[in-house]
């Protein structure tokens, strides 16, 4: 009996120690969405359960190791205990109830994260190796950053151009894969304004060589700031549509070109577009070409035809734009000097 | 070469073979591409084949595995050239970026694998049967270590072959982990940069290849290690002369060898960047390496399927007299549960990979949305195997824990029947939970909650095991030699791994956890706790039975005390960064996340684990020759294999035994588990 | 088994064959009239059950073998268990293909020639009938009957293969269903291809057993290889019993 009392006390002590230790070590990123609340709540319950069950096994184990160890000179065997059906049933039934309870709570918490606001704004997300683009259909523009108004639910309708990607903002908690050939939904209600440091969408499904770099900024702003930003974007979009280079830029954003090609000379998955037009390009097969209209045209519709040295193993998708669209893109590339 | 010592000779030849193979590879590559490239795909391939063939030639001459490998090379070339020839006739390009075109590699790889089996001699007897020729009932293995390098029908030899191959693969997988962990030690790219080139891959791709191969090679290593334990132990424990189908048993082992060669060759053929899960559409676009990965897993899968079949037949048909279901050693129950899974579910991973192979080869659009295919279907098929498979990994390990605890606690296994039944329970429920890997995958919504319930249900039978173990420890007379230390370590580590399972199982939390390092931490804990630790426990425990010598205790303890804390550090750090936003399968992470220190610690911990296993390997080989002689019933066990001399006699038990009591009745005076025939006579006379 | 009257066993084979024929025709009829999926599945299950019990003798797994672990009957019992376990495992391949078929195509089916399907199905069913006769003959020590039954089975097996690979496939391709044309084509070629591969291995197995049988290697008491070939052959038939409705009967045609 004495053994049981000591063990029970130690289990309780250990549970508390483990639980508060875990809570104190700040295991989660900041909570920035309404959906995260019910997830963090369940996670906290799981921590309690883990702490308790861990203590429940570990404490009697170490207690036995210390108290019931074989001492010097002892030769006999331990007590002959074969089992006890009541006890076995107990430790089958109780965990059964615990897991059923957790399954129930899990379903409840899932339900909470999926509460829908019928007025939620729709944003169409297109993912491709290795970039996201965000279309605001109600506002009529495309952006490579995700801007959200605080406390307003949005529903992201996501699809992929090539392989499976996954949409994850750790601060929002929820993750949803983006699968080619179907549209998956992601509902989120951001609750925390971002400062200069934006949140980041991080692609969470291995999607090829540069999967690690498949990120986009997420900014949560007040409704007023959002409206200002949206109005500016709309104006830009309208203005851009008037000029070839504007249309070219919009096409490049919408089709994810800028996910691989930088416009400022920085290194990227593909060769930078900065100073591209007219540049002498060293090809993988050793020859040199001048990046003129014909070459760029070919690079877009048949990227594998001429491969730039140093990029042999990356895979640029082939695009079928109309000739006008390509001319627009080239016009845009020309401006990058 | 006049050196007497075959090991020294083989290492010399290994170097020579490596150099020649590498040279051949470089030469051929120059011929094909016209450029000098010292890390071109063919150089690596030839170096690998050259080294391994030369090494085994040095050890055993042109026999057994050496001949198998040579045949595999010839078969691959013949198959590849055959397809290339057909392509020429069809007006297609004969050769591709990796010397052969993709269909030629696939066909060649398959022919090569089968040629290996013919070359090594694993199908000779069946061929004779087909021709109607008689075969001898008993095979006589050659004397000495040579028998381990060729086809043997003795389950003990096969068990050891499996075990050593598993260790070797673990070493390769571990080495890959060390390489990519080094890259992860700090943020930004250090040496696997975008300008790095090896085997037609840049640094990022090379990272992915190493990571994916680490995963799959470790998993195949587990499957082989499990098969090793089962093969060596089950016939001994149930008093059988051998497995039910000795030739099938040899076949199951030998098919895993070309499979391993294929897997490693993926590294050289452009690698593959999909992780061990090989999800399409990504896997439909990977380099040719992925086909080698698919083929390798496919062949290794057959090893697993046929091994499971054999084990089930053995346990059903070959038990000693008096061994009723509930008098079987608990490990036999674990082996049954494991084999049920590997017998059936394995077909699904084979099939899912096969479908992707055909999608790539013939454009069959199973998983291609533009052709009406469904990428999520692949995930269902893949996980229908790969979830139950994780219980293939652990059930034997948990069986080892249950088997060894009573010996070192000197008490019966608490609730034997419940522990036995919980293995079956885990295996059966394990079939119904696969979609918990797909909570975020975009599968049908209504599937999520039922799969959450079934997933969490697995905790119940697993809990029964834990509670029984604790109750077994309670009031025992516990000693802690090395095997027992590993048993205790296993319980502790697996507990952490197991308890991090339910958070994954509850969907909403998993939506945060999935595809992060939290998952990585979870499964390293479960796999180490459920397999690696018990595997080491079993090795330390039965090593004397197999070899007649004991392993060094001090080194064993050093191994344990180095590995366990490092391991906890490794996985706790993994889980922490995972929760905070570290995604899986990335070569580089955002320095702004502030994970540099954690990752550095993980890398150091990884090195320490590696070192500890190196100590083990040293201990293993050193003790083979110089270990203390093991005499009699070393651990004072009731199990029959310890009642006969070590090393185990060739035909196991010279006299049959009968089971006359419960297996784990420690502490009950006068009880015994088995009675040998001559003892019975003595009993009657006395 | 050896005690039972040979004639009675052969007659039983005939009766089962008649049942299978009637059910197959009924299946075809249901498919072209009311297209009830449930009925088609039930009929397939009944057919599989008949083959499994009467042709494959699944109940033999339950026989208590007398004799020591080294005796021929005991070893045969072990072999039988091994074979059935193998079939269970192999069944998962086909189950997987069926899952893929229903996941991708749902209640639609590729545009195939139903008459041709019925013909190849009939060929395979008849081959099973003769396989059963061959095995029964060997069980009763009748070498001649064995060789005759085996030869017919072998010929029908090859006819099935030619029918599928040599006639069906080109026809499908002609109709525009190719491996790369889309999900229907992929499924059709994979299912029939995988099954044909098993038929091919079965044919090889049968040929080997036939040859060894002609050389007198088997007897009424010792003929495990014959039983194994028979059970495997019937298994391939059972698979087709499910694949046939899945490909040719269930669902509406998409064009
Ligand atoms: C040996 C291997 C092994 C084992 C045993 C387990 C055991 C379990 N695993 Fe794990 N798992 C993996 C290997 C393993 N897993 C791998 C390799 C992956 C990743 C694959 C990949 O993507 O690459 C993975 C991923 C994985 C996922 C998907 C995560 C994701 O990608 O989103 C999930 C989700 O549910 C999960 C759950 C579980 C659960 C519930 C158990 C349970 O079986 C655990 C049961 C045990 C206990 C719970 C502890 C003891 C019990 C008690 C003390 C009783 C009382 C307990 C309660 C009342 C809760 N695992
Ligand atoms: C049994 C399985 C197993 C084992 C033992 C390990 C061991 C280790 N693993 Fe691994 N790991 C996996 C299975 C395993 N892993 C799987 C399945 C994945 C997922 C892959 C994917 O995402 O697709 C993964 C992924 C994975 C990642 C995530 C990669 C990513 O997502 O980018 C990391 C990162 O740190 C990691 C690290 C390690 C480390 C440091 C070890 C260390 O413990 C390694 C220490 C070394 C050894 C234990 C071997 C030493 C052996 C010898 C020296 C023997 C020599 C023997 C002879 C010569 C006879 N592993
Ligand atoms: Cu997109 Cu990873
Ligand atoms: Cu799982």
In this predicted structure, what is the pLDDT of residue B541? 94
B426 neighbourhood in chain A, CB within 8 Å: none
Collapsing DSSP to helix, strand or coil, B657 comes out as strand
Instruction: Kindly report the protein residue whose alpha carbon is nearest to atom 25 of ligand 2.
Output: B215
Measure CB to CB from residue C186 to each of B241, B343, B364 and give the nearest one.
B364
Indicate the pairing of strand B99-100 with strand A154-160.
Answer: unpaired
- Answer whether B358 sits within 8 Å of C182, measured CB to CB: no
Between the alpha carbon of residue C200 and those of residues A112, A116, A220, C226, the distances in Å are: 56, 56, 64, 17
For chain C, the C-alpha Rg in angstroms (whole number) is: 19
Mean of the per-residue pLDDT values of chain B:
89
- Sorting pLDDT into bands at 50, 70 and 90, what band is A255? confident
Which residue, by CA, sits nearest to atom 18 of ligand 2?
Answer: B215
Of B301, B318, B314, nearest to B263 by C-alpha is: B301
A116-141 confidence digits (pLDDT tens): 888 889 999 999 888 898 999 988 88
Distances (CA, A) of C125 to B307, B511, C41, C160, C235: 33, 51, 18, 10, 11
**What percent of chain B is predicted at pLDDT more than 90?**
59
B219 C-alpha to center of ligand 2: Å?
A: 9
The model carries a pTM of 0.92
Chains that touch A (3 or more CB pairs under 8 A): B
If one counts the domains in chain B, the total is: 1
Contact residues on chain A for B668, CB-CB shorter than 8 A: 80
CA nearest ligand 1 atom 50, residue: B463
Q: Is the CB of A178 under 6 A from ligand 3?
A: no
Q: What pLDDT does residue B162 have?
A: 95
Residue B672 inside a domain? The answer is: yes
Please indicate whether residue B164 or residue B655 has the higher confidence score (pLDDT): B164
The answer to whether the beta carbons of residues B196 and B179 sit under 8 Å apart is no
Alpha carbon of A233 to ligand 3 centroid (Å)? 26
Q: Kindly report, residue by residue over B30-39, the tens digit of the pLDDT.
A: 777 777 777 7
Q: What are phi and psi of B557, to 5 degrees?
A: -65, -40
Domain assignment of residue B662, given as a range: 641-685
pLDDT for B1 equals 40
For C109-166, the pLDDT digits (tens) are 888 888 899 999 999 999 999 999 999 999 888 888 999 999 999 999 999 999 999 9
* Mean pLDDT of all residues in C224-237: 94
Look at residues B240, B230, B154, B156 and name the one whose alpha carbon lies nearest to residue B659: B240
Closest CA to B351 of C157, C98, A47: C98
| Chain mean position to CA B15 | 27
B280 to chain C, closest Cα gap in Å: 15
At A312, is the pLDDT very low, low, confident or very high (cuts 50, 70, 90)?
Answer: low
- State the smallest CA–CA distance between residue A2 and chain B in angstroms: 13
CA of A180 to the centre of ligand 3 (A): 12
3-state secondary structure of A159: strand
Give per-residue pLDDT as tens, B673-686: 888 877 766 665 54
Contacts of A113 in chain B (CB under 8 A): 508, 511
Write down the CATH number for the domain with range A121-236.
2.60.40.420
Per-residue pLDDT averaged across B232-257, rounded?
Answer: 93
In a domain, B646, yes or no: yes
HSE toward the beta carbon, residue B43, CA cutoff 13 A: 18
For C35-71, the pLDDT digits (tens) are: 788 899 999 999 999 999 988 988 888 887 767 778 8
pLDDT digits (tens, 9 = 90+) for B98-134: 778 888 999 999 999 999 999 998 888 888 888 888 8
- The beta-carbon neighbor of B512 closest among A39, A206, A213 is A39
The answer to whether A121-236 and A241-334 have equal CATH topology is: no
pLDDT in tens, B519-573: 999 999 999 999 999 999 999 999 999 998 999 999 999 999 999 999 999 999 9
Whole-number Å distance between alpha carbons of C51 and C47: 6
Residues of B in contact with C180 (CB under 8 A): 362-365, 371
Residue B676 lies in a domain: yes
Pairing between β-strand A154-160 and β-strand A121-128 as defined by DSSP bridges: parallel
Q: What is the ipTM of this complex?
A: 0.91
Residues C182, B344: C-beta atoms closer than 8 Å = no
Q: Is residue B330 part of a domain?
A: no
Is B651 part of a structural domain of the chain? yes
Query: Which B positions 259-318 lie with beta carbon below 8 A of chain C?
Result: 305, 308-310, 312-313, 316-318
Which contacts of B182-186 are long-range, i.e. CB under 8 A and separated by 24 or more positions?
B182/B603, B183/B207, B183/B587, B184/B587, B184/B589, B184/B599, B184/B602, B184/B603, B185/B599, B185/B600, B185/B603, B186/B596, B186/B599, B186/B600
What does the angle CA B538 – CA B277 – CA A162 come to, to the nearest 5 degrees? 170
Domain A241-334 architecture: Orthogonal Bundle (1.10)
Q: Does residue B373 lie in a domain region?
A: no
In chain C, the domains with their CATH numbers are 3-253 (1.20.120.80)
For C1-25, the pLDDT digits (tens) are: 445 688 888 888 889 999 999 998 8
**B654 inside domain:** yes
Among A79-88, B359-368, C194-203, the range with the most confident prediction by mean pLDDT is C194-203
Is residue B656 one of the residues assigned to a domain?
yes
* Per-residue pLDDT reduced to its tens digit, A217-235: 999 999 999 999 999 988 8
Q: Which residues of C touch B359 (CB under 8 A)?
A: 186
User: Does residue B463 line the site of ligand 1, with CB under 6 A?
Assistant: yes
pLDDT for B2 equals: 45
Looking at residue B3, its pLDDT comes to: 46
Nearest to B219 by CA among B527, B585, B564: B527
Q: Is B519 in the pocket of ligand 1 (CB under 6 A)?
A: yes
Structure token pair of residue B48 = 């690998």
- pLDDT for res C181: 87
Percent of chain A with pLDDT over 70: 99
Which residues, by Cβ under 5 Å, contact ligand 4, an ion?
A: B 387
State the count of interchain CB pairs (< 8 A) between B and C.
106
Q: In sequence order, which residues have a C-beta less than 8 Å from that of residue B506 and are 6 or more positions away?
A: A42, A46, A102, A103, A105, A106, A109, B452, B456
User: Any residues with CB less than 8 A from the CB of A147 and at least 6 apart, and which?
Assistant: A219, A221, A226, A229, A230
Residues B455-479 have pLDDT tens digits of: 999 999 999 999 999 999 988 889 9
- Rounded Cα distance between C80 and C73, Å, is 10
Give the per-residue pLDDT at A315: 65
Instruction: Show me where the domains of chain A are located.
Output: 2-64+87-113, 121-236, 241-334
């Amino acid at each position: 009996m004495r053994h049981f009392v000591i063990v029970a006390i130690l289990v309780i002590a250990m549970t508390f120690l483990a639980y508060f230790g875990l809570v104190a070590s700040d295991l989660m990123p900041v909570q920035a969405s309404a959906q995260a609340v019910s997830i963090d709540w369940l996670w906290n319950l799981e921590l309690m359960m883990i702490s308790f069950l861990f203590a429940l096994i570990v404490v009697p184990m170490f207690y036995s190791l210390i108290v019931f160890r074989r001492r010097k000179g002892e030769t006999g065997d331990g007590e002959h205990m074969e089992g006890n059906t009541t006890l076995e049933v107990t430790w089958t039934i109780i965990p059964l109830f615990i897991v059923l309870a957790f399954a129930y709570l899990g379903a409840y918490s899932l339900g909470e994260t999926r509460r829908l606001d019928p007025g939620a704004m729709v944003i169409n997300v297109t993912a491709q190796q290795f970039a996201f683009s965000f279309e605001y259909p109600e506002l009529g523009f495309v952006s490579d950053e995700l801007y959200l108004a605080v406390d307003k639910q949005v529903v992201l309708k996501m699809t992929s151009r090539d392989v499976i990607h996954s949409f994850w903002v750790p601060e929002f908690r929820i993750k949803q894969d983006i699968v080619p050939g179907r549209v998956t939904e992601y509902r989120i209600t951001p609750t925390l304004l971002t400062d200069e440091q934006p949140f980041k969408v991080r692609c969470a499904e291995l999607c090829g060589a540069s999967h690690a770099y498949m990120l986009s900024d997420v900014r949560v702003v007040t409704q007023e700031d959002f409206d200002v930003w949206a109005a500016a974007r709309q104006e830009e979009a309208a203005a851009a549509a008037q000029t070839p280079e504007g249309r070219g830029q919009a096409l490049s954003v919408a089709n994810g070109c800028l996910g691989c090609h930088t416009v400022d000379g920085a290194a990227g998955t593909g060769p930078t577009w900065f100073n591209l037009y007219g540049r002498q390009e060293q090809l993988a097969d050793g020859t040199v070409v001048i990046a003129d209209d014909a070459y760029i045209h070919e690079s877009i519709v048949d990227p594998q035809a001429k491969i730039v040295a140093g990029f042999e193993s990356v895979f640029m998708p082939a695009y079928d734009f109309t000739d006008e669209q390509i001319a627009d893109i080239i016009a845009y590339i020309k401006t990058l000097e | 070469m006049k050196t007497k010592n075959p090991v020294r000779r083989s290492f010399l030849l290994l170097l020579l073979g490596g150099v020649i193979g590498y040279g051949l590879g470089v030469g051929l590559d120059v011929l094909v591409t016209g450029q000098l490239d010292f890390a071109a795909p063919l150089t690596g391939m030839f170096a690998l084949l050259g080294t391994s063939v030369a090494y085994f030639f040095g050890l055993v001459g042109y026999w057994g595995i050496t001949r198998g490998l040579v045949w595999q090379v010839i078969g691959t070339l013949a198959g590849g050239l055959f397809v290339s020839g057909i392509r020429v006739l069809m007006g297609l390009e004969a050769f591709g970026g990796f010397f052969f075109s993709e269909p030629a590699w696939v066909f060649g790889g398959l022919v090569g694998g089968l040629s290996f089996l013919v070359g090594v001699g694993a199908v000779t007897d069946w061929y004779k049967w087909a021709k109607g020729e008689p075969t001898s009932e008993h095979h006589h293995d050659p004397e000495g270590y040579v028998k381990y390098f060729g086809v043997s029908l003795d389950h003990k030899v096969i068990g050891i072959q499996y075990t050593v191959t598993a260790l070797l693969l673990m070493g390769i997988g571990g080495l890959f982990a060390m390489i990519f962990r080094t890259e992860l030690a700090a943020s930004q790219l250090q040496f696997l940069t975008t300008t790095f080139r090896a085997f037609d891959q840049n640094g990022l791709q090379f990272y992915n290849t190493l990571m994916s191969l680490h995963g799959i090679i470790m998993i195949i290593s587990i499957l082989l290690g499990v098969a090793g334990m089962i093969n060596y132990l089950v016939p001994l424990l149930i008093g059988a002369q051998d497995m039910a189908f000795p030739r099938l048993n040899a076949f199951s082992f030998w098919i895993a060898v070309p499979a391993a060669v294929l897997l490693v060759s993926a590294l050289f053929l452009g690698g593959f960047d999909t992780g061990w899960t090989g999800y399409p559409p990504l896997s439909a676009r990977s380099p040719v390496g992925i086909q080698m990965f698919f083929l390798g897993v496919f062949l290794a899968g057959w090893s697993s399927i046929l091994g499971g079949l054999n084990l089930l037949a053995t346990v059903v048909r070959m038990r000693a007299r008096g061994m009723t279901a509930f008098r079987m050693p608990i490990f036999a129950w674990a082996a049954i549960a494991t084999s049920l899974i590997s017998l059936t579910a394995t077909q699904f991973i084979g099939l899912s990979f096969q479908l992707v192979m055909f999608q790539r080869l013939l454009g069959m659009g199973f998983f291609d949305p533009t052709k009406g295919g469904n990428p999520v279907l692949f995930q269902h098929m893949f996980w229908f195997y790969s979830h139950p498979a994780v219980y293939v990994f652990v059930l034997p390990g948990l069986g080892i824990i249950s088997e060894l605890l009573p010996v070192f606690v000197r008490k019966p296994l608490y609730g034997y029947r419940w522990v036995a039944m919980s293995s079956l329970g885990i295996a059966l429920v394990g079939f119904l939970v696969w979609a918990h890997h797909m909570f975020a995958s975009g599968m049908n919504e209504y599937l999520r909650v039922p799969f959450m319930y079934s997933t969490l249900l697995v905790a119940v039978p697993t809990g029964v095991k834990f509670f029984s173990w604790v109750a077994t420890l309670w009031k025992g007379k516990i000693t802690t030699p090395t095997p027992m230390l590993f048993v205790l370590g296993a319980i502790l580590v697996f507990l952490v791994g197991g308890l991090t399972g339910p958070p994954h199982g509850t969907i909403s939390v998993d939506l945060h956890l999935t595809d992060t390092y939290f998952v990585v931490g979870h499964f390293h804990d479960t796999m180490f706790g459920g397999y690696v630790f018990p595997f080491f426990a079993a090795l330390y425990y039965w090593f004397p039975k197999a070899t007649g010598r004991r392993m060094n205790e001090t080194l064993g303890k050093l191994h344990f005390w180095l590995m366990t804390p490092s391991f906890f550090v490794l996985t706790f750090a993994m889980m922490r960064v995972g929760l905070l936003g570290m995604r899986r399968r990335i070569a580089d992470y955002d320095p702004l996340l502030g994970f540099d220190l954690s990752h550095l610690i993980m890398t150091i911990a990884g090195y320490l684990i590696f070192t500890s296993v190196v100590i083990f390997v040293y201990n293993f080989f050193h003790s083979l020759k110089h270990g203390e002689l093991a005499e009699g019933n070393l651990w004072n066990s009731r199990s029959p294999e310890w009642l006969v001399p070590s090393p185990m006699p060739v035909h196991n038990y010279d006299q049959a035994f009968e089971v006359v009591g419960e297996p784990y009745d420690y502490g009950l005076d006068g009880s015994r588990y088995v009675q040998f025939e001559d003892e019975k006579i003595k009993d009657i006379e006395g | 088994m050896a005690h039972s009257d040979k004639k009675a066993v052969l007659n039983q084979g005939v009766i089962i064959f008649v049942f299978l024929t009637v059910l197959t025709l009924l299946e075809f009829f249901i498919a072209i009239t009311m297209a009830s999926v449930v009925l088609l599945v039930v009929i397939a299950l009944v057919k599989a059950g008949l083959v499994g019990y009467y042709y494959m003798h699944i109940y033999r797994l339950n026989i208590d073998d007398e004799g020591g672990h080294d005796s021929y009957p005991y070893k045969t019992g072990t072999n039988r268990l091994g074979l059935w376990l193998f079939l269970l495992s192999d069944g998962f391949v086909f189950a997987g293909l069926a899952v893929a078929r229903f996941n991708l195509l749902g209640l639609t089916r590729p545009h195939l020639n139903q008459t041709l399907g019925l013909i190849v199905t009939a060929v395979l069913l008849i081959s099973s009938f003769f396989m059963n006769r061959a095995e029964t003959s060997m069980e009763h020590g009748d070498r001649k009957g064995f060789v005759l039954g085996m030869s017919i089975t072998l010929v029908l097996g090859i006819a099935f293969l030619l029918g599928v690979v040599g006639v069906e496939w080109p026809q499908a391709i002609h109709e525009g269903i190719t491996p790369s044309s889309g999900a229907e084509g992929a499924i059709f070629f994979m299912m029939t291809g995988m099954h044909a591969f098993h038929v091919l291995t079965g044919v090889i197995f049968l040929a080997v057993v036939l040859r060894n049988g002609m050389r007198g290697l088997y007897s009424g008491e010792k003929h495990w290889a014959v039983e194994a070939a028979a059970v495997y052959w019937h298994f391939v038939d059972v698979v087709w019993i499910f694949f046939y409705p899945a490909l040719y009967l269930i669902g509406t045609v998409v064009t």
